[in-house]
Amino acid sequence: MAINKDKFFDAIWDLVQEEAATVFCLGWDGDFPGGSGAVYVNEWNGVYFVTSSDFDPEGPFSSL
């Protein structure tokens, strides 16, 4: 039986999002519609993930 990699990743990502602690957040407001956003660095079980309101998630990274 083949593993559906997308379903597996989604399940793990949901767990990471629930349990991760935000260690850094940088937000901005461009003072115009659509000109605001944020970047988050989250730690989960000793690894780090970068999420953003504008870009796809990145990681895991072993250090900051």
40: Cβ contacts below 8 Å, ≥ 6 apart: 22, 24, 25, 50, 51, 52
Is the model's pTM score more than 0.85? no
* pLDDT for the residue numbered 33: 84
pLDDT, tens digit (0-9, with 9 covering 90-100), for 2-60 = 677 788 888 888 899 899 999 999 999 988 888 899 999 999 999 999 999 888 889 99
CA gap 28, 49 in Å, rounded: 20
Please report which confidence band the pLDDT of residue 1 belongs to, taking 50, 70 and 90 as the band edges.
low
